[in-house]
Structure 1
Amino acid sequence: MQYKYDYSILQDQSSLKLLLKEISGHASEIDCDGCFPEMEFGLLRKSGLLTITLPGQALSFNSGKTKELLQLLKSIGKASLPVGRVYEGHINALYLISLFGNTIQKERWFGDAENNLFGVWNTQDTGGVKIHDLDNGKYMLEGAKTFCSGAGWIGRPLITGELISKSKKGWQMCVISTEKVKPIQSDSSFWKPLGMRASASYRMDFTGIEINEEDLLGPPDSYYQQPYFGGGALRFAAVQLGGAEAVLEETHRFLQKMKRTEDLFQRARIAEISYLTETGNLWINQAGIKLDEWQNKPDTTGQILAYANMTRTVTEDICLRSLQLAERSVGSRGSMRPQPLERIHRDLTTYLRQPAPDATLTAIGGYVLNQQNTDKLWD
């Protein structure tokens, strides 16, 4: 199937820069309860970035350009973390479809990607989601998910649930065409965060939603298949690093405005944020290169997961330290509204709270200690 966009905005850096500037300039306007970056995703659609990972496109999943994809995610995260979060979910859903969809499903859902946002909603609410087999090629959903980024603006949510069937059981993925089912019940009262308000990560109740056999993605238990599940940490780490770069940019701008650039302590702090963010760039670039090298080689799942976990952990440390240094640099004056750093600080602090950070760290150590020596851990 041929997709509409056969060019890449990535080749036109001036256009990409203007796009990101427009997204960044609107970020404060959507920092409120009930808001969603509709204008921003309209721009991403027109630019072709919603379809850029599809077959034949500039960053298709089989093109060996994971590094470039991570840099794109970082750039969007720098412009707006909520936009970056929802965009990363869109890319994640398309990746899962590319891995586990059959030919007909890929043609259908990839064809939907230009005009529909996709997202992955996996976090269970109390009781979670169950997918009941009705024995006639149809399935009835029951239960709810939380932290559903994009909520009612996502036209193709990919959700997971416990499959209840006589013939097969397990953790099942499915993709819902929202215009073909009754309205999914959205509860925004759940979403009262410190930051990331515009990501609209609401509670969504799927009880009574009916889907068909062709809406089921992959066999049961595909969702957690490694290294695809754990390796996905690279994508959200890249978006987070964009937040750290935004912190650097706004701290730099504030210090210049306040004429504090000759202060030796300010120079020391800005130097540290600078080398921290560049360290993050080296990490995500190297992680992207290694992922492309390893993913088609046998027996590299452990390496991929350990390296992705290291990248995620280092990125979190970089972001947290950058926030601390920025706070000291700008003080109370630079941390209040309408200064952009106030919003970026809240958004990044919230976005950094990803599941199981301690388990992630110990998994790295477990991998290393299980090797015979440390001579060629990452070769």
Structure 2
Amino acid sequence: MGHSPPPAASPTPYRAGVTDRTSGAPQRPDAAFAGLPAAVAAALEGEAAARDADGAFPAASFQALQGAGLLTAPLPASLGGRDVGGEALLRLLRQIGRASLAVGRVYEGHVNALGLIQRYGTPAQLARAARDAHAGELFGVWNTEDGPGLRLVRAAEGLTLTGGKTFASGLGHVTRPLLPAEAEGGRVMVLLPTGREPGTPDHAFWQPLGMRATVSGRVDYTGAQVREEDLIGQPGDYYRQPEFGGGALRFLAVQLGGADAVVASARAVLRGLGRAGDDVQRLRFAEVAVRLEAAWQLTREAQRRMDALPDGADPAPLLAYVALARTATEDACLLAAEAAERAVGARGLLAPWPTERLLRDLRMYLRQPAPDAARLAVGAWLLDAPEDRNSPWEEG
């Protein structure tokens, strides 16, 4: 699930006329933004178990998000949004992840797509996307693919696609998927509204351990017609750094929300069994608390560094720090899952407790691409650090 790793080659360098990192995306969120309303959180939590049971898409949850203005919250105020970004967006994603990891996964893709259009699209494309988001259209980024992948072919009759995508979260409900595709000049982004794909979406592919409600699947776009106005940005924009690697911070926030839910559920089981005061349990969850808080602070700090990075600066230190946050988050979430399983035992993994479902969702969502590569990046940065630095993670 999530992003596929970038190719080994460096992305295309910046060119004049391409929206830069800071001017295309707001750096200060709406000061009045209070995060996920309690009523919306309750709606998401209330639907989660039913959608896990039947495997259907959590449509009511996204109606609640739309009603609260959260489908448009990341957009600029000039287009009816609230300029929610940076740490405020991470906090929102964590809150949504705690309420429903499946909803958090799809919402993170929606936010990602809008951010890419805002950063690299034309004013007309962004205005059209804003109108669609206000109308309740759901965006997403479908990058993962099998085999030769998706290609954009230019021929005498125009632009067409060949190939497809897999792990397409929200398939059949995401109506504005952003599709990175290989083209002659490099990887391009195609915003293709649903209805123009000639093939039938394949949901049989999706038989997961958890995260059933994302209704992911395969879709074949071979023969789909693409218009020039469907192309977002220039070749190479999708893999530009630090935005591509730094985008991991969004799914880290959602994962930490999922871990919050696992811990809260385990706590409820222990209280119900009269065992929350056991010293063994308190020692077990003390370590979980330390790890989760450390991962959250690293994620926040990585976002702060990303927001402060000047245009044209070397992104390598920031990306190493993002890898540090990702490694800490995976370890913390796995520890939370193991602690919950050991604490509640078999009894706590039965209905009516939701712990079993929450654990399945969290373990599935943690399986983002290239975790070992992130861990290797952390070790390499530490061992290659200059001798004159007190810490390899110092800025500057």
**In the alignment, which residue of structure 1 is the partner of 2:10?**
none
Q: Distance in 2 between matches of 1:100 and 1:371?
A: 34
**In the alignment, which residue of structure 2 is the partner of 1:328?**
342
1:308 maps to amino acid = V
Q: Distance in 2 between matches of 1:360 and 1:274?
A: 23
3-state SS, counterpart of residue 146 of structure 2: strand
The structure-2 alpha-carbon separation of the partners of 1:148 and 1:171, relative to structure 1 and needing over 3 Å to count, comes to: same
Greater fraction of residues in strand: 1
Structure 1 contact 252–270 (Cα < 8 Å) conserved: no
**In the alignment, which residue of structure 2 is the partner of 1:22?**
43
Structure 2 contact 198–222 (Cα < 8 Å) conserved: no
**In the alignment, which residue of structure 1 is the partner of 2:126?**
106
3-state SS, counterpart of residue 186 of structure 1: coil
2:226 maps to amino acid = I
Structure 2 contact 168–217 (Cα < 8 Å) conserved: yes
**In the alignment, which residue of structure 1 is the partner of 2:370?**
356
Q: Which runs of 5+ in 2 are unaligned?
A: 1-28
Q: Distance in 2 between matches of 1:304 and 1:59?
A: 27
2:353 maps to amino acid = Q
**In the alignment, which residue of structure 1 is the partner of 2:189?**
173
How far residue 33 of structure 1 moved from its aligned partner, in angstroms, is 5.3
In the alignment, does 2:226 pair up with 1:211? yes
The structure-2 alpha-carbon separation of the partners of 1:34 and 1:259, relative to structure 1 and needing over 3 Å to count, comes to: closer
**In the alignment, which residue of structure 1 is the partner of 2:275?**
260
Structure 1 contact 9–47 (Cα < 8 Å) conserved: no
Superposition pairs for residues 116-265 of structure 1, below 5 Å?
Answer: 116-135=137-156, 138-163=158-183, 168-179=184-195, 181-182=196-197, 184-265=199-280
**In the alignment, which residue of structure 1 is the partner of 2:380?**
366
The structure-2 alpha-carbon separation of the partners of 1:306 and 1:58, relative to structure 1 and needing over 3 Å to count, comes to: farther
**In the alignment, which residue of structure 1 is the partner of 2:52?**
31
Q: Distance in 2 between matches of 1:314 and 1:301?
A: 20
Q: Scaled by the length of structure 2, what TM-score is found? A: 0.86
How far residue 336 of structure 1 moved from its aligned partner, in angstroms, is 2.2
How far residue 170 of structure 1 moved from its aligned partner, in angstroms, is 1.6
**In the alignment, which residue of structure 1 is the partner of 2:83?**
60
**In the alignment, which residue of structure 2 is the partner of 1:76?**
96
3-state SS, counterpart of residue 259 of structure 1: coil
Runs of 4+ in 1 over 6 A off after TM superposition: 7-10
3-state SS, counterpart of residue 189 of structure 1: coil
In the alignment, does 2:325 pair up with 1:302? no
**Number of residues of Structure 1 aligned to a counterpart in Structure 2:** 362
**In the alignment, which residue of structure 1 is the partner of 2:105?**
85
In the alignment, does 2:293 pair up with 1:278? yes
How far residue 109 of structure 1 moved from its aligned partner, in angstroms, is 1.4
Structure 1 contact 82–196 (Cα < 8 Å) conserved: yes
Q: Scaled by the length of structure 1, what TM-score is found? A: 0.90
Q: Distance in 2 between matches of 1:54 and 1:90?
A: 11
2:165 maps to amino acid = K
3-state SS, counterpart of residue 314 of structure 1: helix
The structure-2 alpha-carbon separation of the partners of 1:277 and 1:182, relative to structure 1 and needing over 3 Å to count, comes to: closer
> How large is the RMSD of aligned CA atoms in angstroms?
2.1
Structure 1 contact 248–274 (Cα < 8 Å) conserved: no
**In the alignment, which residue of structure 2 is the partner of 1:4?**
none
3-state SS, counterpart of residue 162 of structure 2: strand
Question: How big is each residue's C-alpha offset from its partner over 1:13-52, in whole Å with a ceiling of 9 and x where there is no partner?
Answer: 6x71221122112210100454111000011011110111
In the alignment, does 2:57 pair up with 1:42? no
How far residue 365 of structure 1 moved from its aligned partner, in angstroms, is 2.8
Aligned residues with identical type, % of pairs: 43
Structure 2 contact 197–221 (Cα < 8 Å) conserved: no
How far residue 58 of structure 1 moved from its aligned partner, in angstroms, is 6.8
Structure 2 contact 197–220 (Cα < 8 Å) conserved: no
Q: Which runs of 5+ in 1 are unaligned?
A: 1-6
Q: Distance in 1 between matches of 2:241 and 2:249?
A: 14
Structure 2 contact 242–306 (Cα < 8 Å) conserved: no
Greater fraction of residues in helix: 1
**In the alignment, which residue of structure 2 is the partner of 1:3?**
none
How far residue 363 of structure 1 moved from its aligned partner, in angstroms, is 1.8
